[in-house]
Structure 1
Amino acid sequence: MSVLAIENLSAALSGRRVVDGVSLTLAKGSFTGLIGPNGAGKSTFLRACLGLVPASGAVRLDGLDLAALRASERARHLAYLPQERETAWAMSVEAVVALGRLPHHARFAAASDRDRAATEAALARMDLSAFRHRAVTSLSGGERARVLIARALAQETPVLLADEPLAGLDPQHQIALMRLFRELAEEGRIVIASMHDLTLAGRWCDRLLLLREGRAVAEGPPEAVLTAGTLEEVYKVEAFIGAAAGGLIVQPVDLSRKEKNEHG
């Protein structure tokens, strides 16, 4: 069984520690939501896992030290959906999705049957087949997000890291994406996605990691992490927590009493 072990991971930006000694062990088939207030270190945590920012600690997949690999080799193990979705080149949707196959063959090599099949499957899974010949620069923000998700799917890695993948999507596509991540986990991948929507995190993730000021405050099943006391302490809000249709409902309703007093 694949295991992703993140051990005492720390990272600093401009001399300030942004991620501070975070450890997390995830097994194949898990979907983990990375939550926390703005500035908690979620994006830097994901980028540190990927080797995109200088970091200490270790990230191992089945005992393999991912930091010791070249970037092209690491990309066969980890796929990344960044928060930034701007595209400068008027490439077709199909060509952008096919970029996910680059880690799997030699530079300038022609696409293989496996590459074409993976690209087709990713286009179909993200409902983009009809868009394949359109320039990605002509798409809406939500459509571009789906293209980049398809590119990550085409990469066919055991681990998928996504930074705020729900941003810019309407409710239908937000729920569809959470369903997709859940399906990918059930198919055997390890998925970690940062997000702000606590209800979607609580309903679809099997585990949550809550960060505050770069440190892990809580980690575990959603019902153990999304408590009224924790939300008041970390987010400074009062929240309604209930259940409907077999899942959690978490809705912030006001500032915490302390915050209201401080704001008059």
Structure 2
Amino acid sequence: MEVVILPSSKEIAGLAADAIEALIRRKPTAVLGLATGSSPLPIYDELARRHAEDGLSFAQAHGFALDEYVGLPAGHHESYREVIRREFTNRVDIAAGNVHGPDGSAKDVLAACQGYEDDIKAAGGVDLQILGVGTDGHIGFNEPGSSFASRTRIKTLLEQTRRDNARFFDSIDQVPHHVVTQGLGTIMDARHVLLVATGAHKAQAVRDFVEGPVAAICAASVLQFHPHATVLLDEAAASALQLADFYRHTYDNKPNWQGL
């Protein structure tokens, strides 16, 4: 796991976009794993800017959303399909048919989950997965206690997660209790995982999954086993890390050819 500490979300977005742009230019048919929430938004803004101003093309790329609420009607403003379209895919030239998301409104949710796994496999697997992390250490909607071997499935949200997400709705009563999410095993299959965390409210979760034990109580800690996981933090999110100075020294002295 590589930990990179940067001054602000602007620098984080730039570095993450550099990695994604390098992938797209090297492999135009790349498969991107797309997260929602606040953390990835500056990355999507920067990629949209590079598309508009520098001609970065996503025309042959594919995108797979990380998760989706269960029970929201099609086209709901806070459906993650709509969020991904609004914040990223409608702002670049990726084909609408190349953007995929779990179906939280399917009549047979279990079958839809297996179908989503099959779709990811058919596309060749995820080349780069963008992630945020919850205040309790969840990634995707893999809440504490999730199996490290889990695949795309339905999950019940903790009340803390519902409270965290209530800011996107008119009230917490409108936040669904259930979601469909890629599992930890699904996420771990991605060739490169790029996790972004900003703000002091994420500091404890960051310390737990970066430097704590690998344990189901902190789902993101499974990334310690990933062969290519990059964690991008601002100073506030990194404030509880015991080895923060070492991470800074390592990145400051990293060879230019190595990349992320």
Give the structure with the larger strand fraction: 1
Q: TM-score range by the shorter chain?
A: 0.3 to 0.5
Of the two, which has the highest radius of gyration? 1
State TM-score, norm by structure 2.
0.35
